[in-house]
Chains A and B, each alone.
Chain A
């Protein structure tokens, strides 16, 4: 009695009636959902389905999930196994489930509570058709955040140090041109911090003793 993907609503999450009483459902607030007979536990769209597993249940009925996975349609693109860790020693179970997911081509998502599990279901629905380029690029930021972003890659530098630097020197180029002594004059900058920062500016990108990678050796 499998329900064909075409019948799955595209506007809301389809939930299998077996999930009745799952506290996860209470946590789904940002998308609508409805019950329908489906092979998976949740369908977040025609190409995303999910099976739900609580580890406590898994420990009592270790075979259950394997049966469910076998019955799952192979042609759905993203097949998620959503695991809620509600036991104290999940390591062994998670190792075995990881193997099972690899053999059966499932994507395993692990979370601690039902609220977060609900958040996963919501997110899969919401991002179902989102193009992936947002993953490839950085979010545009304002000048101070960008400056903070790069300066704080130096371990010793914190946010108030960024304010100190920005307010003492007039631009990033000026900060880079400053000597260790000048940096040290800034309050909050000890010898170590000043040296670490100056070292990042001055350290060569390429170790001079190391052979350059082949692609650039010619030029």
Chain B
């Protein structure tokens, strides 16, 4: 058997690897789950050498960590290095010079290129992970351009396993252009060599189709109806929408939101609240469709109730909230938790129809249909092992894959404690929550909620449930009825262990190997009669690893016999497969990547039996989503193969000959006539702009650079761009503008700019493709009054307050670059170091390396002002510490009244 642990490649993966290494510059697009991470690992192994310098960009953190760990374990002469914003500037140059593989965040790398901190002439090459995200004007595109302009010999390799993201007009062509590539290599699942390799000795697949319960089916029906009507309504309110990317099928995927927002963003701030609500509703419905299958009945109902409360709390009325289907949704969800009130056709209750009496609402919890199937499967596997056929390998193990950690812990509880306890625990939580919500409503916290119509009759239900909570719940409707199963269950229950990390789990499994061996020979798995004598022997190990990285992702049950794995950290499935080598894999939730990885796993162990149980709710949105995912991927590949065959790629697209660079350089050459030169002779001037480091998160610096400006990255305290010693620009996108006008930050920023520059400029940047310059939404017009809460009003007052503030309006980064060009004409160059010195005591804390997330949160807290925010951040560690601070300390920290205000806010017991 191949040594998979070392990440060795299968024959078809070797072919992929060759495609990746034979050519210096290549884009590799492979189908999901076929060994993306393993290919990267093998590729990077080649470069762990001090004589080379290979930069890896765009790698998500989980992938980066996994690759680095693996490479470090290998013990290469040069371990990979990771550069992030926390690496000091001065150290980075040395890291680059030392060579080897360097993972670097894009924003850092771009700045290093511009400041020549990275020795670009010695770079061996750049590896671009998840290259489907590299679109024109992205930071990665900027990096690759900077790289190619200064280094024509290094390689560029781009790789992705998300082909479905590369759809849309000319997506493939754009990708090749922005990554400076000419060669592309496709590896769809339907590729001949792949098909042959994977289907030669495929794993034994048992499809376990689990029917939805009637109530679940009703709920699902209601959700579909609501989605359809939301889409229809959306089409009606925005007839201009291009629905080709917005079919109903796609609305099950989060990519749908992206496609929708792409169309609506240009006009987003102009949309009426109705359209916005519809977009949000579609998202809510999608998560409901997902939760229906993943959550238990109580949690699902709980979530619905929360939604309903928040609708009223925020007075935003969802379109779907008043449709008939919604009523169905609520009623069905409710009666999955509570007993259905007596029907009129029941023998003796003719009057009960209209008003079911509260006391009749007993909890009657409907377990997830898949739970029983899972228990049965585990039992079946145990019997199979016990039967001792040759088909069973030594130490057979079971891997259960589910989609998220919630499902993971849900299954763990279920297998440990049984369905009743699992559900009752949730019901307890729900009842507690219900009490609080009642109290909150009564105290008027959510002022509008008193008008709340009782769609689901939830209050009375909850009241009844509370009275009932001590009583044993009614037996589950779909009970297995097998007494034998109970004994088995107990064994599993008692042999549960939870491990903190992947490593811990595997370690535990190894410890357990001996016992399992013993057990396999003994009667532990051996008898089918429910004899549970051996239970006491099963080991219960509780282990908590200090590294919390993988926590909650999985749990190990039955003494290492079975492991439940969450697919959410999806880069790690193959790792578990390789290290655990399960013979039985239960796919609790359908997942395309996971099923592929199992295929690959099987192909790497020819002759060794692997059985996969593929659990699916039949005729469910879950099934539909799985099938759609396969269809969409196949479709994407077909489209790309077709596009490739008809694509014209220019000879010098890779920039190796330097033609493309020359062309780009000539495109925006500035020719200025200088009056000082005799006869108004033309001279080329490279205009310089000082750019704040933080601005590299946006695409504007890339575009400005493309327009032949020289960029000088600096940490600026005042302004974002300095055009000349007099001109300083604060850039605001529309959402930023709205937010910073409301919070008072813009006022402070303009004050600071006015102090140091004679021409302070506010650049209002509309979104790309935004076709208008309006700051008022249509609903605000309807209101008619001039209201100070409007952004327009605030902007007007700002310009009255600062008459010398100049406004520049722009529709796109390109337009901004052109405006900058015109503004800079005949202006002296700015001085970077002077610009950086400006503004010691201004409200510019966010530029000084304070963590942005906690800072944004802190800024919104009452009592926190521009004056005390810096002190708070310096004197306290984090928000958690601030929240536990006693009143006196808080008052000392931020002033008496502010401190009191914040303290009260933290401890406001509602």
Report Cα–Cα, A185/B879, bound state, in Å.
Answer: 22
Cβ–Cβ contact B856 & A153, under 8 A:
yes
Cβ–Cβ contact A119 & B786, under 8 A:
yes
Cβ–Cβ contact B306 & A163, under 8 A:
yes
Q: Does B303 contact A (CB under 8 A)?
A: yes
Q: Does B907 contact A (CB under 8 A)?
A: yes
Q: Does B815 contact A (CB under 8 A)?
A: yes
Q: Does A209 contact B (CB under 8 A)?
A: yes
On chain B, the residues within 8 Å of A116 by CB distance are 774-776, 792
On chain B, the residues within 8 Å of A188 by CB distance are 287, 291, 303, 306
Indicate whether A85 sits within 8 Å of B800 (C-beta atoms), given known contacts A163-B309, A176-B880. Answer: no
The interface bits of chain A over 92-112 (1 if a CB of B lies within 8 angstroms of the residue's CB, else 0) are 101110110110010111111
On chain A, the residues within 8 Å of B905 by CB distance are 143, 146, 172
Cβ–Cβ contact A109 & B800, under 8 A:
no
The interface bits of chain A over 110-152 (1 if a CB of B lies within 8 angstroms of the residue's CB, else 0) are 1111011001101110111010101111110001101011110
On chain A, the residues within 8 Å of B805 by CB distance are 107
Q: Does A177 contact B (CB under 8 A)?
A: yes
Q: Does B566 contact A (CB under 8 A)?
A: yes
Report Cα–Cα, A185/B428, bound state, in Å.
Answer: 12
Report Cα–Cα, A63/B807, bound state, in Å.
Answer: 21
Cβ–Cβ contact A149 & B873, under 8 A:
no
Report Cα–Cα, A212/B849, bound state, in Å.
Answer: 9
Contact partner, A135, options B88, B287, B798, B860, Cβ 8 Å: B798
Q: Does A210 contact B (CB under 8 A)?
A: yes
Cβ–Cβ contact B906 & A30, under 8 A:
no
The interface bits of chain B over 98-109 (1 if a CB of A lies within 8 angstroms of the residue's CB, else 0) are 000000000000
Cβ–Cβ contact B313 & A144, under 8 A:
yes
Cβ–Cβ contact A164 & B306, under 8 A:
yes
Indicate whether A143 sits within 8 Å of B445 (C-beta atoms), given known contacts A127-B797, A128-B800. Answer: yes
Q: Which 5 residue pairs are nearest across A and B when measured between Cβ atoms?
A: A187-B303, A160-B310, A205-B873, A150-B860, A112-B772
**The stretch of A11-19, A34-42, A64-72, A195-203 that contacts the partner chain:** A195-203
Query: Within residues 796 to 819 of chain B, which ones have a CB less than 8 A from any CB in chain A?
Result: 796-801, 803-812, 814-815, 818-819
Report Cα–Cα, A208/B635, bound state, in Å.
Answer: 49
Residues of B within 8 A of A (CB): 86, 88, 284, 287, 291, 295, 299-300, 302-303, 306-307, 309-311, 313-314, 316, 404-406, 429, 433, 436-437, 440, 445-446, 551-552, 566, 568, 727, 741-744, 746-748, 759, 761, 772-776, 781, 784-786, 788-789, 792-794, 796-801, 803-812, 814-815, 818-819, 821-823, 825, 840, 848-851, 853-862, 870, 872-874, 876-880, 883-884, 905-910
On chain B, the residues within 8 Å of A199 by CB distance are 853
Q: Which residue of chain A has the shortest Cβ distance to B781 in the bound complex?
A: A115
Cβ–Cβ contact A204 & B781, under 8 A:
no
Q: Say how far B134's CB is from chain A's closest CB, in angstroms.
A: 22
On chain B, the residues within 8 Å of A136 by CB distance are 744, 747-748
Report Cα–Cα, A75/B789, bound state, in Å.
Answer: 31
Q: What are 29 sample pairs from A and B whose C-beta atoms fall under 8 A apart?
A: A29-B784, A98-B806, A98-B823, A107-B806, A110-B773, A111-B773, A111-B774, A123-B793, A124-B800, A127-B796, A132-B797, A132-B801, A135-B741, A135-B744, A136-B748, A143-B910, A144-B446, A163-B309, A163-B313, A166-B440, A172-B908, A184-B405, A188-B287, A188-B306, A191-B404, A192-B568, A201-B854, A204-B877, A212-B874
Cβ–Cβ contact B878 & A213, under 8 A:
no
Cβ–Cβ contact A123 & B299, under 8 A:
no
Report Cα–Cα, A109/B421, bound state, in Å.
Answer: 64
Cβ–Cβ contact A204 & B809, under 8 A:
no
Interface centre among B446, B797, B855, B856 (most CB of A within 10 A): B797
Report Cα–Cα, A22/B801, bound state, in Å.
Answer: 28
Interface centre among B311, B743, B807, B905 (most CB of A within 10 A): B807
On chain A, the residues within 8 Å of B811 by CB distance are 90-91
On chain A, the residues within 8 Å of B848 by CB distance are 213
On chain A, the residues within 8 Å of B861 by CB distance are 146, 150
Cβ–Cβ contact A143 & B908, under 8 A:
yes
Q: Which residue of chain B has the shortest Cβ distance to A200 in the bound complex?
A: B853
Interface size on A, residues (CB 8 A): 91
| Beyond A98-B808, A135-B746, A206-B850, 16 extra complex contacts between A and B, CB < 8 Å | A91-B814, A94-B810, A96-B822, A99-B822, A107-B805, A108-B809, A109-B807, A111-B774, A139-B742, A139-B789, A144-B445, A180-B552, A191-B566, A205-B872, A206-B851, A210-B86
Contact partner, B874, options A95, A101, A216, Cβ 8 Å: A216
On chain A, the residues within 8 Å of B746 by CB distance are 135
Contact partner, B792, options A108, A123, A130, A139, Cβ 8 Å: A123
Q: Does A48 contact B (CB under 8 A)?
A: yes
Q: Which residue of chain B has the shortest Cβ distance to A187 in the bound complex?
A: B303
On chain B, the residues within 8 Å of A56 by CB distance are none
On chain A, the residues within 8 Å of B789 by CB distance are 139
On chain A, the residues within 8 Å of B436 by CB distance are 167-168, 170
Q: Say how far A28's CB is from chain B's closest CB, in angstroms.
A: 11
Q: Say how far A25's CB is from chain B's closest CB, in angstroms.
A: 16
Inter-chain contact total with CB atoms closer than 8 Å: 278
Cβ–Cβ contact A171 & B908, under 8 A:
yes
Q: Does A173 contact B (CB under 8 A)?
A: yes
Cβ–Cβ contact A48 & B800, under 8 A:
yes
Q: Say how far B259's CB is from chain A's closest CB, in angstroms.
A: 20
On chain A, the residues within 8 Å of B792 by CB distance are 116, 119-120, 123
Cβ–Cβ contact A202 & B880, under 8 A:
yes
Q: Does A3 contact B (CB under 8 A)?
A: no
Report Cα–Cα, A94/B810, bound state, in Å.
Answer: 8
Cβ–Cβ contact B884 & A173, under 8 A:
yes
Contact partner, B794, options A126, A135, A148, A207, Cβ 8 Å: A135
Interface of A is mostly: helix
Cβ–Cβ contact A163 & B799, under 8 A:
no
Cβ–Cβ contact A201 & B803, under 8 A:
no
Interface centre among B311, B405, B818 (most CB of A within 10 A): B405
Contact partner, B815, options A91, A127, A216, Cβ 8 Å: A91
Q: Say how far A153's CB is from chain B's closest CB, in angstroms.
A: 4
Cβ–Cβ contact B404 & A190, under 8 A:
yes
Cβ–Cβ contact A201 & B879, under 8 A:
yes
Interface centre among A30, A173, A209 (most CB of B within 10 A): A173
Q: Which residue of chain B has the shortest Cβ distance to A48 in the bound complex?
A: B800
Cβ–Cβ contact A171 & B306, under 8 A:
no
On chain B, the residues within 8 Å of A176 by CB distance are 879-880, 883, 906
On chain B, the residues within 8 Å of A120 by CB distance are 792, 796
On chain B, the residues within 8 Å of A181 by CB distance are 552
Report Cα–Cα, A134/B793, bound state, in Å.
Answer: 11
Q: Does A154 contact B (CB under 8 A)?
A: yes
Cβ–Cβ contact B86 & A200, under 8 A:
no
On chain B, the residues within 8 Å of A124 by CB distance are 796, 800
Cβ–Cβ contact A80 & B799, under 8 A:
yes
Interface centre among B299, B759, B774 (most CB of A within 10 A): B774
On chain A, the residues within 8 Å of B568 by CB distance are 190-192
Cβ–Cβ contact A207 & B86, under 8 A:
yes
Indicate whether A78 sits within 8 Å of B803 (C-beta atoms), given known contacts A135-B744, A136-B748, A164-B306. Answer: yes
On chain A, the residues within 8 Å of B822 by CB distance are 95-96, 98-99
Cβ–Cβ contact B883 & A203, under 8 A:
no
Cβ–Cβ contact B440 & A167, under 8 A:
yes
Report Cα–Cα, A124/B857, bound state, in Å.
Answer: 33
The interface bits of chain A over 18-33 (1 if a CB of B lies within 8 angstroms of the residue's CB, else 0) are 0000000000011000
Cβ–Cβ contact A167 & B306, under 8 A:
yes
Q: Say how far B900's CB is from chain A's closest CB, in angstroms.
A: 15
On chain A, the residues within 8 Å of B440 by CB distance are 166-167
Interface centre among A95, A163, A213 (most CB of B within 10 A): A163
Q: Which residue of chain A has the shortest Cβ distance to B855 in the bound complex?
A: A205
On chain B, the residues within 8 Å of A210 by CB distance are 86, 88, 849
Interface centre among B306, B727, B788, B855 (most CB of A within 10 A): B306
Cβ–Cβ contact A153 & B803, under 8 A:
no
Q: Say how far A80's CB is from chain B's closest CB, in angstroms.
A: 7
Report Cα–Cα, A167/B910, bound state, in Å.
Answer: 9
Cβ–Cβ contact B793 & A171, under 8 A:
no
Q: Which residue of chain A has the shortest Cβ distance to B432 in the bound complex?
A: A168
